[in-house]
Structure 1
Amino acid sequence: MTATLEHVQSGTAVSLSGVSKVFGQGRGAVVALDGVDLKVAPGEFVCLLGASGCGKTTLLNLVAGLDAPTGGEIELNTSRPAVMFQEAALMPWLTAARNIELPLRLAGFGKADRQAKVAELLDLVRLSGAGHKRPHELSGGMRQRVALARSLAATQRVRGSDAPALLLMDEPFAALDAITRDVLQGELLRVYERTSTAVLFVTHDVREAVRLGQRVVLLSSRPGRVVQEWSTQDSGSEGLVEQITARLREVISTHAKS
């Protein structure tokens, strides 16, 4: 089952034009990204797929503003992007509710608004009864749900900003066991369908990309370039998984021979 296209809006949430990123200088320089063109519409769920080391996380960091591109342009038409990593990275001394509340406090929400939004987000990720627990009292899957709620909280802005939200997700389920990962993929789709948040989701798992994304974008091996993209509405999921897997193998094989 793939996400529907029903709440994709017109316009662009984020646009990358000819984006490149080089680490280091001279002979030791490493070209991580080279001429990447990519657009994500408001409310669209895009999965960025590629082999390890192809620059997926680097691209996410550039969009998040954690690093600057060497060349090209990145245009954001959203509120400040929120980022969810592979590790939940929760504050261990804070309860689940307090972890979710933190970005709301930093954004300037008043106490009553913070409490209401935390309760809403806990309910959204199905952790209404766990807000008082600290991270060490939660399972790995529950911690990632808290991290998801905190990321959604980070997209909120005071005074009713009309800017669309953007959530950047860097292989958030990779460290989980297969059953928990499957459950959280379903939960993410449920949460996504209840929000208008655009999502740029990094993964190396073809099945995960096809299940979650409305669009799958494949990066080449280093330096990362967009080599192909697919709509998940084009064909049945199994056929699409096979098609993308074959293309990914071709990209990796070409890189290995070069």
Structure 2
Amino acid sequence: MTATLDESTVRPATDHAVRLSGVHKTFGQGERAVTALAGVDLDVAPGEFVCLLGASGCGKTTLLNLVAGLEKPTAGEIYLNSSRPAVMFQEAALMPWLTAAANVELPLRLAGIPRTERRTRTGELLELVRLSGVGGKRPHELSGGMRQRVALARALASALHTGKDASLPSLLLMDEPFSALDAITRDVLQSELLRVWSSTGAAAVFVTHDVREAVRLGQRVVLLSSRPGRVVQEWWVRNLSPADEEATVTVINQRLREVISSHAAA
């Protein structure tokens, strides 16, 4: 699904797909105010896969919504070098009355892409996510994993630019898209996501609370503190050996426990 950006709070970037500078977000006012994010600084390079990690309620989804333009920051700046970031949610959120192909084609149609071109592009994207034979089926006829593949294809249709936008880095925002799936399906889709991401060159910001998932998928893992969320530590996790991957999971889990414990003791 495509988010409409507010140009007063989201500005163009040059060497990053997205940059957050001193971003704060507070909900409500007065004594009822809740500060979700406090001074977040984060850069995501074009083509980079970044995983946001943290305890429940630390502001991960809020940060994603700010980048998508679904919320406005209370303070700070978001510099975006993508005219159309795409969001993939925990649920597939497909239109139940549309076929899989029509769901994927929808953002292309809304963008004014000519019919022949969008049909061709839709077919290519369904093939990319290994669903070339199910374009005529409706969501209720598909498994949960297949629905998430359709949602991924639709997000890519929105994020990957054509025409005058072709030179802009693409940005895919993913909010725990595999959390509702069983372990085997989740494992398969993680592998498929990495295959699809590497073939598209899109930047990805992937929200998760699962340390192992973050280390497996990301090139960089960014840990947010408990509320109010701010960046407390980052790890480069690209191309780790199995032994190093396991050691990194242990280190990040320990740091996450420290962050949660320090918040509980405050």
Structure 2 length-normalised TM: 0.92
- Counterpart of 2:154 (choices 121, 145, 150) is 150
Shift of residue 230, structure 1, vs aligned partner: 0.2
Distance 1:77 1:255 in 2: 34
1:241 paired to 2:249: yes
Partner AA of 1:86 in structure 2 = Q
Distance 2:24 2:103 in 1: 35
Distance 1:60 1:131 in 2: 29
1:207 paired to 2:212: yes
SS in 2 for 1:33: strand
2:7 — aligned with what?
Answer: none
1:224/1:120 CA distance change after superposition, 3 Å: same
CA contact (8 A) 2:218 2:238 kept: no
Distance 2:237 2:164 in 1: 33
1:219 paired to 2:257: no
Provide the aligned C-alpha RMSD in A. 1.1
Runs of 5+ unmatched residues, structure 2: 1-13
Distance 1:65 1:76 in 2: 10
1:252 paired to 2:252: no
What pairs with 1:70-85 in structure 2 (closer than 5 Å)? 70-85=74-89
CA contact (8 A) 1:107 1:158 kept: no
Partner AA of 1:173 in structure 2 = F
CA contact (8 A) 1:79 1:166 kept: no
SS in 2 for 1:216: strand
Shift of residue 80, structure 1, vs aligned partner: 1.4
Distance 2:126 2:83 in 1: 22
1:105 paired to 2:109: yes
1:171 — aligned with what?
Answer: 176
Runs of 4 or more off by more than 3 Å in structure 1?
none
1:95 — aligned with what?
Answer: 99
SS in 2 for 1:191: helix
- Counterpart of 1:190 (choices 195, 204, 229) is 195
Partner AA of 1:177 in structure 2 = D
Distance 2:46 2:238 in 1: 18
1:39 — aligned with what?
Answer: 43
% identity of equivalent residues:
73
Shift of residue 182, structure 1, vs aligned partner: 0.3
Instruction: Give CA deviations for 1:161-193 in whole Å, capped at 9, x if unaligned.
Output: 211100000000000000000000000000011
CA contact (8 A) 1:93 1:134 kept: yes
Distance 2:43 2:223 in 1: 13
Shift of residue 50, structure 1, vs aligned partner: 0.3
1:27 paired to 2:31: yes
Shift of residue 79, structure 1, vs aligned partner: 2.5
CA contact (8 A) 2:51 2:214 kept: yes
Bigger drift between 115-124 and 228-237 goes to 228-237
CA contact (8 A) 2:161 2:170 kept: no
Residues matched between the structures, number: 249
What pairs with 1:43-62 in structure 2 (closer than 5 Å)? 43-62=47-66
Partner AA of 2:211 in structure 1 = V
CA contact (8 A) 1:108 1:158 kept: no
Partner AA of 1:117 in structure 2 = R
Distance 2:205 2:58 in 1: 16
- Counterpart of 1:232 (choices 231, 237, 250) is 237
Partner AA of 1:183 in structure 2 = V
